Structure 1
Amino acid sequence: MTDAQDTLPDLQDTDQPSDQELKSKRKKSLGFVAFILVLALAIYLVWQLFFNDSVSTDNAYVGAETASITSMITGQVADVLVSDTHAVKKGDVLVRVDSRDAEIAVAQAKAELVKAQRQYKQTQANSSALNSQVFVSDDGIHSAIAQVAKAKAELDKAKDELNRRQQLSVSGAISKEELSTAQSAVNNAQAGYDLTQAGLAQAKSSQKAAQSSLAANDALIKGANENSTPDVLVAQAKLNQALLDLERVDIKAPFDGVVTSRKIQVGQRVAPGMVLMVVVPISQLYVDANFKESQLENVRIGQKVVLTSDLYGDGVEYHGSVVGFSGGTGSAFALIPAQNATGNWIKVVQRLPVRIRLDPKELAEHPLRVGLSMEAKINLSSK
């Protein structure tokens, strides 16, 4: 029993490592950790120097400058020639509006133009008539002047006769009746003279009125002809507008694309500005890639981008270039922007949309649609 007890402590002493062995193991562990740290640092430096030449994101989506097709006139839809998903070419007729109202407007505008041209001719004829009146009034004035001179002479003669009779009446050579008759003759001559002067003034007034009418009439047609007078130009403009409205009864595609969001039916009444459908230019698509703000330090306009679509997978690559940066983050232009000044603020890495132009040839080979998800990788070493 005593021998077993003596042997057990010896075995326990043999199993426990010595202090020297513990220090050795600790040094090896610290060396291994240091090696791992140095290796990680080396890998990081190599990556920074040789492989950190790109940034990527999968927060990217296809976009396009779509066109909302609207009516420029008021009328009833006579025919709708396209439906959603239809491919259209620039100039293809999408919708036809009933043209009868526009045709009536054109006929009315043409009649107004003819009326304005005839009014110009009438105004021109009135100028000739008024010019003749001015010449006639000259003759009337000359005649009135002659009448005034005649009446003046008769008045002077009557006054002379009255003076002689007044001298004779002092000596009693003539009767009072003769003197009274002479006085009446003077009064009559004076009245005639006043009447001729009034006639002369009236003739001059008539001439001034004719001259004013002639000047006003000439002002309407001065420096113009039948096609350039203001009334004719206004009527011509109304006719041009009516013809344009008649042309607009055929609502056409502004560019090549695909029809979507058709909202119009035959028989429906349309008004200017009413959205009928949307045309998406699938050959002019772009990508808005939302990069983290920490990724944009070295991103520049013109750098090359490689993109893949979830639609086709990694087997199809698109090649594009950076064309610009958005004016702000998505949260900055949200309907209800974040209020970071509150006490509940939590810092969130923001993303800024980067516009990427796609190659039209690649789009023609592998068409995309607005809203599809993309992955974008910008080559920072490219120019």
Structure 2
Amino acid sequence: MTTPTSTTPTPAASNPKRKKALITLASIVVIAGLGWTAYEWLVASHYESTDNAYVQGNVIQITPQIGGTVMAILADDTDFVKAGQALVKLDPADAKVALDQSRANLAQAVRQVRTLYANNGSLSAQITLRESDVAKAQTDIARATDDLNRRQSLVGNGAVSQEELKHAQTQLANGKSTLAAAQAGVAAAKEQLVSNQAMTDGTPIDQHPSVMVAAAKLREAYLATQRAALPAPVDGYVARRTVQLGQRVAAGTPLMAIIPMNQVWVDANFKEVQLRHIRIGQPVHLTADIYGKKVDYKGTVSGLGMGTGAAFALLPAQNATGNWIKVVQRVPVRVALDAAQVAQNPLRVGLSMEATVDVSNKDGKMLADAPRAAALVQTNVYEALDVGAAEEVRKVIAANMGRK
């Protein structure tokens, strides 16, 4: 007797609609996988993104160059200031006293140097006078010699006594002594003239070392009075004001900071595995959390850091230990921003950003290989102070040069 074979159909076979749905779903999954693979290969592989990016900028510390007591505070946090605008004023009383003293010292130095130049003429006259003494002594010697010779010729005849002869000899000896003294006087006068000329030759009065030393002291004192007012070196916004009225501050004490908004950039911290295709000059698209996706900043890779954040940390990691866990490191990539976009949509130092680098073009360099051609930042605010100091020196020297 044979047992009938079971021919119970599977659920999918018994339900054609379900089978069709499963085939459709599988097709969708396959197509989605292919689409994702194509996207990764054709699009996503050309970009590197990170949300570990932050706005950075130059935080310019305002520090006094001299010590003093704070008399006035002319700017506060969030204020916009222009380059050259006074921010803090110190009590200038001590500096003004030193300035008056240095003016007097320079005037005295100019007059003393004028005396040195005037002494050249008087010493030359002294030489002429001494030389005339030599000529007179030589004349006296010649006359005394003639008298002595005449008396010596008459001694044998008894016309001249021995006393007169000795007197003539004494006159000649005295004349020779006078001549020697006059010649020594000429030599001494010449030495004095040479010594005085060594302090004056080849140098005008205003370039004399004594005058220049006093002039340098005057410049120092003048600059100290000008530095009692602390100017803003650049245009920017005030931040981190710590100075208070009446505070006694020393040179170099941080009082506040200036942040120029036209000097900001982004440090995007990419993982080390993302750096293989990043090059200098590649375009970067950035968005800031403060504005969201509606503001798209355009930037350019301007450089790659020379070390990871961990390497430059205050307490660097020591990986040569028994228990070690690998941590993926990040390297800061500096992104230069479009100044016009930053002016239209201002940023703040420390704001979070999202950065996406287009790595399609890999012709650029990973590291800069040439030095910077010009100064990164500079200010001309302090040059005017030295110009005023030079003018002050010129006026004091001119006032003490005397009539010409």
TM (normalized to structure 2)?
0.75
Distance 1:345 1:159, change over 3 A: farther
The one-letter amino acid of 2:217's match is K
Cα distance in structure 2, aligned partners of 1:343 and 1:204: 97
1:271 counterpart residue number: 250
Deviations 1:163-207 (A, max 9, x none): x49xxxxxxxx9xxx99x73x766665554444333222211211
1:334 counterpart residue number: 313
2:105 counterpart residue number: 112
Cα distance in structure 2, aligned partners of 1:104 and 1:298: 64
The one-letter amino acid of 2:102's match is A
**Superposed displacement of residue 152, structure 1:** 3.8
| Corresponding position: 1:84 with 2:81 | no
| Corresponding position: 1:228 with 2:207 | yes
Cα distance in structure 2, aligned partners of 1:346 and 1:93: 54
2:287 counterpart residue number: 308
**Superposed displacement of residue 109, structure 1:** 2.3
**Superposed displacement of residue 101, structure 1:** 2.1
Cα distance in structure 2, aligned partners of 1:151 and 1:344: 116
Distance 1:142 1:341, change over 3 A: same
Cα distance in structure 1, aligned partners of 2:47 and 2:245: 53
Q: How does 1:241-320 map to 2 (within 5 A)?
A: 241-320=220-299
Deviations 1:242-270 (A, max 9, x none): 22222222211111222122121111222
1:201 counterpart residue number: 180
**Superposed displacement of residue 158, structure 1:** 6.1
Secondary structure (helix, strand or coil) at the match of 1:258 reads strand
The one-letter amino acid of 1:360's match is A
Cα distance in structure 2, aligned partners of 1:305 and 1:258: 27
Cα distance in structure 2, aligned partners of 1:341 and 1:109: 63
Distance 1:99 1:205, change over 3 A: same
Secondary structure (helix, strand or coil) at the match of 1:227 reads helix
**Superposed displacement of residue 288, structure 1:** 0.5
Cα distance in structure 2, aligned partners of 1:112 and 1:304: 62
Of 42, 53, 56, which residue of structure 2 is paired with 1:63?
56
Q: How does 1:1-383 map to 2 (within 5 A)?
A: 14=6, 43-44=36-37, 47-156=40-149, 164=156, 182=162, 190-381=169-360
Distance 1:317 1:42, change over 3 A: closer
- Name the larger-Rg structure: 1
Distance 1:68 1:107, change over 3 A: same
The structure richer in helix per residue is 1
> Alignment length, in residue pairs?
346
Distance 1:138 1:294, change over 3 A: same
**Superposed displacement of residue 121, structure 1:** 2.2
Cα distance in structure 2, aligned partners of 1:236 and 1:45: 77
Cα distance in structure 2, aligned partners of 1:214 and 1:143: 22
Flag structure 1 segments of 5+ consecutive residues without an equivalent.
Answer: 1-5, 18-31, 166-173
**Superposed displacement of residue 110, structure 1:** 2.1
Cα distance in structure 1, aligned partners of 2:176 and 2:265: 92
Cα distance in structure 1, aligned partners of 2:193 and 2:65: 45
Cα distance in structure 2, aligned partners of 1:209 and 1:37: 116
Cα distance in structure 2, aligned partners of 1:229 and 1:91: 35
1:3 counterpart residue number: none
Cα distance in structure 1, aligned partners of 2:29 and 2:176: 130
The one-letter amino acid of 2:122's match is A
**Superposed displacement of residue 38, structure 1:** 11
Cα distance in structure 1, aligned partners of 2:43 and 2:352: 30
The one-letter amino acid of 2:353's match is M
The one-letter amino acid of 2:287's match is T
Deviations 1:204-246 (A, max 9, x none): 1211111121122223232333433332233333323322222
Distance 1:189 1:336, change over 3 A: farther
**Superposed displacement of residue 71, structure 1:** 0.6
The one-letter amino acid of 1:317's match is D
Cα distance in structure 1, aligned partners of 2:141 and 2:34: 126
Cα distance in structure 2, aligned partners of 1:152 and 1:37: 141
